[in-house]
Amino acid sequence: MTFHRIPHFESRNGKLHFLGSPRIFQTLSKDEEILWNLLKSPKTWNVISQTFGKDARGMVERLKSLGVIVEIQPKRSKKGGPILVLEPHHDDAALSLGAWLLARRKRPLRILTATSRYISTTLLETGRRRVLSVEQVSELRLTEGRLAGRILGAASTSLPHPDAPLRYCRNPEKLHRVSEERFSGEYERSISENLLRNSKTEAIELARQILRRMTADSTTLLAPMGIGAHPDHLWVRNAALSLLLDSKVPEVGLYEDQPYAMTRPGHRSRLIQALTESGLRVRVEESKVGSRHRAKRNLLCVYASQWKIDSITDQLGLGPESIERIVWVRRGKSQQPTSDLGTLLEHLLELELEKIVGSDPMAWLEQLGRDQEIQIYLFHDLRYAKTLAHHPLLESTGNKIRFHIMGTKPIVGTQTQFHESETDMMLSVEQSTANHPVVVISNAYRLWENLSELGLRAGSLLAARNAGDLLKLFTFRENRERPKP
Ligand SMILES: [Zn+2]
């Protein structure tokens, strides 16, 4: 086995810094610093243990637990049928299927990433002083993908597409230079506005590109389920379904997208329902991560541009008991009609988005009656809050509206109360669901995330969802379904 540094850290006077940050990530001991310098190029265990003797194991384990070095086993022989894993971004296969793939390390394995141009890194969340350019982020994520491929014993390749924010933003190359507020606005808009677009043509084109890279007929094909409805994940899944419906592959394994699945309860069963209703045959495979949880953690360390290792393993609840899921999908028996791609995709979209949420908050508010106190939760959208607050319908019913808005500055000057602080908001969710109607309004892409943010801190909100009329969930399509004052 060999040990490799991950490409995100540098040592300055024995102190590790993350991606050029002035903050000290970790101080190394004298010996650890020597080991770090030795690992400028990958080293075998023999070299390390000869250099450090009985201390070698402890030092290697500490650097591994910090997530700054990873261990790679050699892959000598290949046995079994070939596997091709499609992933939207460098990291999706490892997050969702890491242990499943490690268990099949001996098989001829390939990972094909649909995108290779990006702007997002964890630096965006920690202030924007030293944000990397598209070129820098893309290069870094490509390196991460290659390193993860070696840990998995897989060949990694990627298609040249930009990811969704870059595909849909007007001036993607300038994104790393704009203010944080403008960046988030552009980013969110680019995704949510394109979520509900007609996706059939794009899926077919991507399927063609994938097909050109499939060498053997016997290849087992895996793709994401699209849990969380990220446009790139849906795009790759739809391409895989297109290959299935076109009889290019006999079966597709749709893996449950992590970490999205942790906060989207019910999405998987809706997907299975839609696939079955469309005449496809579905079989669910669940496998426990088991003793491979440490190896999966080692694998996830390489994607440091996207997360801090402890926060992602916490989020995944990564341990022996955590589960990776694949929904295997086949065409139905010949006498059963199987949908064409367009109908299938429409059915999936309908089930995934439209049925979870209503699209007309005003119609519901109209039915609410008068003289009540209504709680409206909004996410990151002041303009929409203002529009709602002054809507004649609300003004005429005499209902008292309390707006709770996340991540924004307070609004003043209306008769409506605005609560902008996140802590206030969580507290009031707890109190208000008991007595007052609650409306959550969010854009489609963020809906599940927003709900889980509320749900995780205020269990009563999600419980109230099933408790009748106290809570209604609404979403709107950007710029299209906003009420006109
Ligand atoms: Zn992804």
Ligand 1 centre distance from Cα of residue 48 (Å): 36
Ligand 1 centre distance from Cα of residue 45 (Å): 33
For residue 326, give the 3-state DSSP assignment: strand
Query: Mean pLDDT over residues 142-153, rounded?
Result: 96
- Closest residue by Cα to residue 429 from 381, 375, 465: 375
* Shared domain check, 380 and 232: no
Tell which of 354, 389, 415 closes a domain. Answer: 354
CATH number at residue 350: 3.40.50.10320
Ligand 1 centre distance from Cα of residue 142 (Å): 14
Residue 84: the pLDDT is 96
What is the β-pairing status of strands 43-44 and 69-72? unpaired
384 domain residue, yes or no: yes
Ligand 1 centre distance from Cα of residue 233 (Å): 6
Ligand 1 centre distance from Cα of residue 260 (Å): 9
Ligand 1 centre distance from Cα of residue 362 (Å): 34
Ligand 1 centre distance from Cα of residue 403 (Å): 32
Residue 340: the pLDDT is 85
Ligand 1 centre distance from Cα of residue 89 (Å): 5
Report residue 384 CA to chain centroid gap. Answer: 26
Query: Does pLDDT of 284 surpass 70?
Result: yes
105 secondary structure, DSSP code: T
Query: Which residues 6+ apart lie within 8 Å of 240 measured at CB?
Result: 86, 207, 210, 221, 223, 252, 254
Note down the domain range covering 264. 83-354
Q: Among 11-20, 425-434, 473-482, which stretch is predicted with the lowest mean pLDDT?
A: 473-482
Long-range contacts of range 460-464, CB-CB < 8 Å, 24 or more positions apart? 460/429, 460/430, 460/433, 460/434, 461/429, 461/433, 463/433, 464/433, 464/438
Residue 430: the pLDDT is 44
484 domain residue, yes or no: no
* Buried-exposed string 304-317: b where 16+ CB fall within 10 A, e elsewhere: bbbbebeebbeebe
Residue 42 or residue 262, greater confidence:
42
Residues 144/7, Cβ–Cβ less than 8 Å:
yes
* Shared domain check, 374 and 350: no
Residue 436: the pLDDT is 57
* Shared domain check, 104 and 48: no
What is the β-pairing status of strands 251-255 and 220-224? parallel
pLDDT digits (tens, 9 = 90+) for 118-130: 887 877 655 555 5
The whole-angstrom separation of Cα 424 and Cα 416 is 16
Secondary structure (DSSP) of 232-259: HHHHHHHHHHHHHHTTSSSEEEEEPPTT
Secondary structure (DSSP) of 175-188: GGGS-HHHHHHHHH
Ligand 1 centre distance from Cα of residue 416 (Å): 39
CATH number at residue 445: 3.40.50
* Shared domain check, 212 and 109: yes
Residue 411: the pLDDT is 38
Which amino acid is it at 354? E
Give the confidence band of 449 by pLDDT, cuts at 50, 70, 90.
low
Ligand 1 centre distance from Cα of residue 39 (Å): 30
Ligand 1 centre distance from Cα of residue 113 (Å): 10
Ligand 1 centre distance from Cα of residue 77 (Å): 30
Query: Does pLDDT of 287 surpass 80?
Result: yes
The whole-angstrom separation of Cα 130 and Cα 175 is 13
Query: Mean pLDDT over residues 153-175, rounded?
Result: 84
* Shared domain check, 257 and 278: yes
* Shared domain check, 290 and 198: yes
Residue 270: the pLDDT is 79
Q: Would you state the structure tokens that stand for residue 345, as one six-digit string?
A: 């995709």
Residue 358: the pLDDT is 46
Query: Mean pLDDT over residues 404-420, rounded?
Result: 43
Ligand 1 centre distance from Cα of residue 11 (Å): 30
77 domain residue, yes or no: no
408 domain residue, yes or no: yes
N- to C-terminal Cα separation, the chain: 66
pLDDT digits (tens, 9 = 90+) for 291-308: 999 999 999 999 999 988
Ligand 1 centre distance from Cα of residue 365 (Å): 36
* Shared domain check, 63 and 147: no
What average pLDDT does the structure give for the chain?
A: 77
* Shared domain check, 298 and 166: yes
Ligand 1 centre distance from Cα of residue 442 (Å): 21
Residue 198 or residue 11, greater confidence:
11
- For the four alpha carbons of 379, 384, 389 and 395, in that order, the dihedral sign comes to negative
Ligand 1 centre distance from Cα of residue 1 (Å): 29
Q: Which residue has the tokens 């606005």?
A: 185
Ligand 1 centre distance from Cα of residue 121 (Å): 13
pLDDT digits (tens, 9 = 90+) for 178-219: 666 666 666 666 665 555 555 788 999 999 999 998 877 678
Ligand 1 centre distance from Cα of residue 461 (Å): 28
Give the confidence band of 482 by pLDDT, cuts at 50, 70, 90.
very low
* Shared domain check, 113 and 56: no
Residues 114/235, Cβ–Cβ less than 8 Å:
yes
Which amino acid is it at 315? Q
User: What backbone torsions phi and psi does residue 44 show, to the nearest 5 degrees?
Assistant: -80, 165
Query: Does pLDDT of 235 surpass 70?
Result: yes
Ligand 1 centre distance from Cα of residue 226 (Å): 9
Give the confidence band of 453 by pLDDT, cuts at 50, 70, 90.
low
pLDDT digits (tens, 9 = 90+) for 329-372: 999 876 566 678 888 887 777 665 544 444 455 555 566 555 66
Ligand 1 centre distance from Cα of residue 262 (Å): 14
pTM for the full predicted model: 0.78
Query: Does pLDDT of 467 surpass 70?
Result: no
Residues 438/471, Cβ–Cβ less than 8 Å:
yes
Long-range contacts of range 32-37, CB-CB < 8 Å, 24 or more positions apart? 32/59, 32/62, 32/63, 35/59, 35/60, 35/63, 36/5, 36/11, 36/63, 36/68, 37/11
Secondary structure (DSSP) of 366-402: HHT-SS-EEEEEEES-HHHHHHHHT-HHHHHHT-EEE
Ligand 1 centre distance from Cα of residue 454 (Å): 23
* Shared domain check, 274 and 187: yes
202 domain residue, yes or no: yes
Ligand 1 centre distance from Cα of residue 114 (Å): 10
Q: Residues within 5 Å of ion ligand 1 by Cβ?
A: 88-89, 92
Residue 183: the pLDDT is 67
Q: Give me the number of domains the chain comprises.
A: 3
Query: Mean pLDDT over residues 143-148, rounded?
Result: 96
201 domain residue, yes or no: yes
Residue 58 or residue 457, greater confidence:
58
Ligand 1 centre distance from Cα of residue 86 (Å): 11
Ligand 1 centre distance from Cα of residue 370 (Å): 45
Ligand 1 centre distance from Cα of residue 155 (Å): 19
Task: Count H helices and E strands in the chain, helices first.
Answer: 19, 18
Query: Does pLDDT of 443 surpass 70?
Result: no
* Shared domain check, 298 and 255: yes
Query: Does pLDDT of 106 surpass 50?
Result: yes
Ligand 1 centre distance from Cα of residue 92 (Å): 5
The whole-angstrom separation of Cα 283 and Cα 272 is 9
Ligand 1 centre distance from Cα of residue 60 (Å): 30
Distances (CA, A) of 50 to 43, 54, 55, 57, 93: 11, 9, 10, 11, 36
222 domain residue, yes or no: yes
Ligand 1 centre distance from Cα of residue 245 (Å): 24
* Shared domain check, 174 and 319: yes
Ligand 1 centre distance from Cα of residue 227 (Å): 10
Residues 342/204, Cβ–Cβ less than 8 Å:
no
The whole-angstrom separation of Cα 22 and Cα 273 is 50
Residue 424: other Cβ atoms inside 10 A = 11
* Helix boundaries (H) for 82-133: 92-102
Ligand 1 centre distance from Cα of residue 118 (Å): 11
Q: Which residue has the tokens 């391409």?
A: 239
Query: Which residues 6+ apart lie within 8 Å of 185 measured at CB?
Result: none
293 secondary structure, DSSP code: H
Ligand 1 centre distance from Cα of residue 318 (Å): 18
